[in-house]
């Protein structure tokens, strides 16, 4: 009578590796919805939950950052338009320079955030497909605390 050893729960199966890879890559196509779906579908898998939650936290941070940036941009634009209107002689209208600078800044931030998500999805997707418990900077630690798992999927120690 031979007994096969139980699989190690910290070593992900090929299915878990694939699902974790999809959690990272889907954020490129559908934003926060992809990681959320993967997180909810594979909730019982520590590995998939960990990777999906990291991608979801990245998307949430991105949305919050965009909202803060948009409010700052609207305020800056309003102040620039108001300042320009006050300082111009009657009948003379020049477009406010601040609006053009804001458009440039919006473009730079949009491209930069897209590159950040693209690089993160590819790098951490590859690591997930190899079975690594790779953590996003800062967000990985938050994901471990939310899921109550230690480094590498070990038991939570409370630190």
The answer to whether residues 139 and 54 touch, using CB atoms and an 8 Å cutoff, is: yes
Question: What are the tens digits of pLDDT across the range 71-120?
Answer: 888 888 788 777 776 666 776 666 667 677 778 888 898 899 999 999 99
Q: For tokens 């999805």, what's the residue?
A: 121
The predicted model scores a pTM of 0.80
Alpha-carbon gap, residue 30 to 8, rounded angstroms: 33
Domain definitions of the chain by residue range: 14-85+95-153
Kindly calculate the radius of gyration of the chain based on its CA atoms and give it in whole angstroms. Answer: 23
The answer to whether residues 156 and 150 touch, using CB atoms and an 8 Å cutoff, is: yes
Question: What is the total residue count of the chain?
Answer: 159
């Amino acid at each position: 009578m031979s007994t096969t050893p139980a699989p190690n729960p910290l070593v992900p199966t090929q299915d878990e590796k694939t699902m974790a890879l999809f959690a990272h890559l889907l954020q490129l196509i559908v934003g926060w919805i992809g990681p959320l779906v993967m997180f909810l579908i594979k909730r019982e898998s520590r590995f998939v939950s960990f990777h999906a939650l990291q991608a979801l936290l990245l998307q949430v941070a991105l949305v919050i950052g965009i909202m803060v940036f948009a409010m700052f941009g609207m305020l800056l634009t309003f102040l620039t338009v108001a300042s320009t209107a006050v300082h111009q002689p009657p009948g003379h209208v020049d477009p406010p320079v601040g609006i053009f600078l804001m458009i440039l800044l919006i473009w730079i931030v949009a491209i930069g955030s897209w590159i950040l998500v693209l690089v993160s999805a590819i790098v951490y997707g590859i690591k997930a497909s190899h079975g690594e418990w790779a953590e996003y900077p800062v967000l990985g630690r938050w994901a471990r605390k939310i899921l109550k798992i230690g480094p590498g999927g070990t038991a939570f120690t409370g630190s």
